[in-house]
Structure 1
Amino acid sequence: MAQIIKAPLIGVLEIFPRIFEDQRGYFFESYREDWLQSEGVTHGWVQDNQSYSQKRTVRGLHFQKGEFAQAKLVRVIQGRVLDVVVDLRRDSPTFGEIYSTILDAQRNNLMYVPTGFAHGFSVLEDSVFAYKCSNYYHKESEGGILWNDPALAIDWQIDEPITSEKDAVWPTLEEFRSSEGGL
């Protein structure tokens, strides 16, 4: 059975699968439905995504709104990233708080991100990133928080980040809170 660690933000889980190694290589179960069911997570997955990012890339902080909100199960297939979530649930006692962890291909750990969170990652070495989504991507429901919002003070652990134009213009957490209140 995998080791499951509950993050300080309610609903966020870090999962460490059991890895079997020998002289031939290794084997592990990268996903089992019963891991999440044991923590009360019962929705299904409808979309798998994969991306390649070069070292120093920052992607995020992204989310989907309303009926297209997505929970995600994320992991790194190759490389190493700093994975970051921000609680955007308007009624949450941890609204606006962040949690981060290193996901890497050596440990093969995963992070479960419930709906109501912005998600992003910084690439510490060239990486292939994979994630399952509980809902389909819907462009009109896409949202984000400025990745370098000074109020969040996220240490992305990289110098001179490479970002997209879109990620440079998302609102700050305070602007998001003022305009939308939360998810």
Structure 2
Amino acid sequence: MTDSSTQPIVDPGVRERHDLAPCASRIEGVLVLPLTRHGDERGGFTETYRTEWFDGPAMVQGNRSDSAAGTIRGLHFHRKQADYWLCLKGTLLVALHDTRTNSPSAGVTQGIVLTGDTTTGIYIPPGVAHGFGALEDSTLTYLVDNYYDGADEFGVRWDDPEVAMDWGIEHPILSGRDAECPTLADVRAAGELPA
């Protein structure tokens, strides 16, 4: 904890800083962003989003998802929408799978743990299937660069053996939609995988 008499909650340069350096991801275009938390005895402040952090369109819509422990949401993907995720509370196991047929990381699955106690964001480009398992009661907030479009909503089974994600949840709570998602093989056969 810093001494509030000598250290402001936000350092004076935070508004000018543009040097956010994403961490490596196994999936092309996915950015794992270590955010800086500034804190003192009053609490903390974290800058969570800047338009210049990402190539492409600016985020236009924000959403919040509250999930009970044991919930799995996803996997979903979009052809025309990127997401930017932050965990506000709890612990989430984020599952990512590259469905893009022309991507250098096509077919790669990656799990990333987000918690409300860490300051990490994840940028998910179009074509990367995404979902999460709530390992405890959790809140996710996410920004998207397109308004909701049902025609751009696609899903893949959470337990697809081709995705091979170990969720660590034995009896997940699923929505009807997620329970009925097709396998990757079915999505591929229907010609719905993005290039």
TM-score between the two structures when normalised by the length of structure 1: 0.90
What residue identity is the alignment partner of 1:8?
Answer: R
Corresponding residue for residue 34 of structure 2: 16
Shift of 1:181: 5.4
Q: Which runs of 5+ in 1 are unaligned?
A: none
Shift of 1:11: 0.3
Shift of 1:152: 1.6
Which of 169, 173, 176 is the aligned partner of 1:162? 173
Corresponding residue for residue 31 of structure 1: 49
Q: 1: distance between equivalents of 2:128 and 2:53?
A: 21
Secondary structure of 2:136's aligned partner:
strand
1:131 aligns with 2:142: yes
Shift of 1:168: 1.3
- Return structure 1 stretches of 4+ with deviation > 4 angstroms: none
Shift of 1:151: 2.0
Corresponding residue for residue 56 of structure 2: 42
Shift of 1:95: 1.7
Superposed CA deviations along residues 109-140 of structure 1, whole A, max 9, x for unmatched, are 11000011111000011111110001111123
What residue identity is the alignment partner of 1:92?
Answer: S
Shift of 1:104: 1.1
Q: 2: distance between equivalents of 1:5 and 1:15?
A: 6
Contact 1:64 1:138 in 2 (8 A): no
Shift of 1:3: 4.0
Contact 1:90 1:181 in 2 (8 A): no
C-alpha RMSD over aligned residues: 1.4
Contact 1:76 1:130 in 2 (8 A): yes
1:6-155 alignment runs, 5 A limit: 6-36=24-54, 41-65=55-79, 69-155=80-166
Instruction: Flag the structure with higher strand content.
Output: 1
Moved more, 160-169 or 87-96: 87-96
TM-score between the two structures when normalised by the length of structure 2: 0.85
Secondary structure of 1:140's aligned partner:
helix
What residue identity is the alignment partner of 1:31?
Answer: Y
Superposed CA deviations along residues 2-61 of structure 1, whole A, max 9, x for unmatched, are 44112011100100111112122111101122333xxxx131111111111000100000
Q: 2: distance between equivalents of 1:181 and 1:140?
A: 12
Superposed CA deviations along residues 71-130 of structure 1, whole A, max 9, x for unmatched, are 000011111101111111121132221122011111121100001111100001111111
Q: 2: distance between equivalents of 1:158 and 1:83?
A: 13
What residue identity is the alignment partner of 1:130?
Answer: T
Report % sequence identity.
Answer: 37
Residues 124 and 3 from structure 1, CA distance in 2 versus in 1: closer, same or farther, beyond 3 angstroms?
Answer: farther
